[in-house]
């Protein structure tokens, strides 16, 4: 099973792919909207890419709860 850091790094790659943001910026305490400026459509793309990459399901009604990178990493850890 992937470690927290492996999931964070994997997620950071996806954020970079979708938004161009430097992967090093994507740290656990960062808010997707406030700190990383990820818009809602980019978030959908990141979520769908994360589902494929980590083999998990992230329902639309859960996405609003994933405010920070740490929230997303925890959710993926809990599912996988």
Partner 1 sequence: MSRTRVVVTGLGTTNPLGGDVASTWEAMLAGRSGVRRLTEDWAADLPVKIAAQVAVDPTEVLDRVKARRLDRTSQLALVAAAEAWADSGLDQAELDGERVGVAMASGIGGVQTLLSNYDALKEKGPRRVSPLAVPMLMPNAPAAQVSLLIGARAAVNTPVSACASGNEGVALAADQIRLGRADVVVAGGTEAAIHPLPMAAFANMMALSKTGSEDGGDPTTVSRPWDTARDGFVLGEGAGALVLESYEHAVARGATIYAEVLGAGITADGHDIAQPDPEGRGGTRAIARALEESGISPADVVHVNAHATSTPQGDVAEGLMLHTTLGKHVEDVVVTSTKSMTGHLLGGAGALESVATVLAIRDRTSPPTINLDSQDPLVELDIATTARDLPSGDVAALNNSFGFGGANVAVLYGSI
- Contact residues toward partner 1 (CB under 8 A) are 17-20, 41, 44-45, 48, 51-52
> Is 39 marked active-site?
yes
Give the gyration radius of the chain's Cα atoms: 11
Give whichever of 6 and 44 is closer to partner 1, judged by the CB atom.
44
Q: Report the distance separating Cα 53 and Cα 30, nearest Å.
A: 21
Question: Which among 22, 39, 61, 71 is annotated as catalytic?
Answer: 39
> Residue 58: how many CB atoms within 10 A of its CB?
19
Give whichever of 16 and 74 is closer to partner 1, judged by the CB atom.
16
* Residue numbers annotated as active site: 39
């Amino acid at each position: 099973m992937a470690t927290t850091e492996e999931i964070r790094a994997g997620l950071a790659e996806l954020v970079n792919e979708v938004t161009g943001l430097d992967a090093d910026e994507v740290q656990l305490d960062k808010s997707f909207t406030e700190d990383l400026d990820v818009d809602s459509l980019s978030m959908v793309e990141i979520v769908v890419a994360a589902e494929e990459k980590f083999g998990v399901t992230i329902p639309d009604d859960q996405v609003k709860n994933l405010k920070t990178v740490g929230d997303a990493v925890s959710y993926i850890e809990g599912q996988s």
